[in-house]
Amino acid sequence: MATNSGRSRLVATEDGHRVTPAELFFDLVFVYAITQVTALMAGDPTPLRLLGGMVVLALLWWCWCCFAWLGNVVRADSGAMFGVLVAVMAVVLAVSLTVPEVYADAPGGLPAPLLFVLCYGAVRILHLVTYWLSDPADQALHATIRRTALFSVAPPFALLLIGSAFTGLTQVLIWLGAVAVDYLGIYVTGGSGWRVASPGHFAERHGLIVIIALGESIVAIGVGVSGHTVTAPVLAAAAAGLLVVVGLWRLYFRHVAEPAEHRLAALEGDDRTRLGRDVYTFLHLPLVAGVVITALGMKKTLQQVADTDHYDLSEPLHGVVAWALTGGAGVFLLASAVVLFRTAGSRPVVLATGGVACLSAGPVVALVPALLAVAVLAAAVPGLLLLHGRTAGEVEKGLEA
């Protein structure tokens, strides 16, 4: 990429580029955004609101991914790029502020759904314009940007605008359609033109956003007991919730992240771009979504265990919350299995089986005390991880033999 290194220029990354403090600073607004998505679902834990929360998360994820790709080819801490990041942070902060009202606009003030859509569109435009300026002589890149604007930005933005005029199921379905068009457009047109200059940076960047999501789930535990007395059952539930988070962290960073990065580094050109698109842009979304859904379940579990004035310790979780506690972990396990299949060609049967079991456990969770449910999940996740590690090790020994 041909760029100059002046203060007002975009500065190209070099071989071995790693994540910069500017990018970590940029991620701070997404910490708040993810917290807002959990709060959006927790405020009205129904299937429709859960779906709506996932739609909002998918849109926010796209905003983050755009600049993860851009930061891989342009230094975020040098030249004009840092100014662009600050501008995007301001816009994403405005988006995050609208999330609680994005499906139920409160009277007075600016229209939250419309403001959300306009800010989302601004982020996408800033991304494309900055990418264009990053290499004015790259005609292949410019052709890709034009295709992206035509097929993966303009149609979804139009659908989001239309959906902002509605409420309820109609709004959610129109916005879901916008997300589907956006992601399909990127899948069809995004296999070439973009590039992953530094596999290490790209993998590290996505690992950090997974940590942010896991951190939000720990915050959800604290928020769940806020305003209530700390008792032995509360401490037990909090410890169990932490063990679930530790299990998910260990699965990703000890079993998923490393083979994915190695495979990315082994490829070149469009093959590397397609793997980056599939494994990181697409498959890391369900990883993050799984953590956010689990955070919803843990927040409500801790709230129920702590609120002894309204709940008995023998009372189970109900409805969507009962499914979310284990279902989120199931989504994470299944996404991890698909990542391993896409990168290493392995068949992680244990993870896939455990993921299906967790996804199907909602009716059982609704029959047992909430504290028992989170305790069983805290034992199941590390157990599945241990079994997966042994199974994977036996497969590797068999291949070596």
Q: Which of 101, 95, 100, 102 is nearest to 126 (CA)?
A: 95
pLDDT in tens, 293-351: 999 999 999 999 999 999 999 999 999 999 999 999 999 999 999 999 999 888 899 99
Lowest mean pLDDT among 54-58, 87-91, 211-215, 397-401: 397-401
pLDDT, residue 394, reads 55
List, in sequence order, every beta strand (DSSP E) within 120-279: none
Q: Which fold has domain 198-396?
A: I/LWEQ domain (1.20.1410)
Question: Measured between alpha carbons, how far is 190 from 187 in angstroms, rounded to an integer?
Answer: 6
> Cβ neighbours of residue 12 under 8 Å, at least 6 residues apart?
1, 2, 3, 73, 74, 75, 134
Give, rounded to a whole angstrom, the gap between the first and last alpha carbons of the chain. 45
Q: Taking residues 140-159, what's their average pLDDT? A: 92
| Other residues' Cβ atoms within 10 Å of the Cβ of residue 252 | 24
Phi-psi sector, 78: left (phi>0), alpha (psi -120 to 50), beta? beta
Mean pLDDT of the chain: 93
**CA angle (388 as vertex; 384, 390 as ends), nearest 5:** 120
Domain ranges of the chain: 15-195, 198-396
pTM for the model stands at 0.94
Q: Which of 305, 300, 365, 296 is nearest to 328 (CA)?
A: 296
pLDDT, residue 225, reads 93
Are 166 and 196 a contacting pair, CB within 8 Å? no
pLDDT in tens, 47-57: 999 999 999 99
Is the pLDDT at 7 greater than 70, yes or no? no
Per-residue DSSP letter, 317: P
Are 293 and 328 a contacting pair, CB within 8 Å? yes
Please report, as a single letter, which amino acid is at residue 68.
Answer: A
Longest distance between any two alpha carbons in the chain, whole Å: 70
Please report, as a single letter, which amino acid is at residue 234.
Answer: V
pLDDT in tens, 347-392: 899 999 999 999 999 999 999 999 999 999 999 999 999 999 988 7
| Other residues' Cβ atoms within 10 Å of the Cβ of residue 376 | 17
pLDDT in tens, 71-108: 999 999 988 999 999 999 999 999 999 999 999 999 98
